[in-house]
Amino acid sequence: MIALWLRMKTMWALRRNAARVGRLFLDQRVPMPLKAATALSALLILSPVDLLGDIPLLGMLDDTMLLVLLAWLFVRFCPKDVVAEYGAAAAAARLKNVTPN
């Protein structure tokens, strides 16, 4: 039961950051070597050939945790002004009133 809860928590964190990572990945101001390293790391994590092996007691949960860590590192190494710009845009979109008049 605990493993299921941890898996759901990490999947929720990945889902929450996926839009930000996607927008940053498409932005021209983010350095290309950072994008390439992130893409290659994600392919390595998701590949059917498990080069790193599984972390004991976690099984397949380690892949999702590595993806969440990779997304966090990608955002952390992106230029701060670009991340702040997307953070402000996301906060403004979250607060937008969508009720019909």
What is the model's pLDDT at position 19? Answer: 80
Residue 89 confidence (pLDDT) above 80:
no
Task: Report the distance separating Cα 57 and Cα 3, nearest Å.
Answer: 9
Task: Report the distance separating Cα 49 and Cα 70, nearest Å.
Answer: 19
Q: What is the tens place of the pLDDT at every residue in 48-74?
A: 776 666 666 666 667 777 888 898 899
Task: Report the distance separating Cα 2 and Cα 41, nearest Å.
Answer: 28
What is the model's pLDDT at position 52? Answer: 60
79: pLDDT confidence band, cut at 50, 70 and 90? Answer: very high
- Dihedral over alpha carbons 42, 77, 66, 64 (to 10 degrees): -80
Q: Which residues contact 58 (CB under 8 A, 6 or more apart)?
A: 3, 65
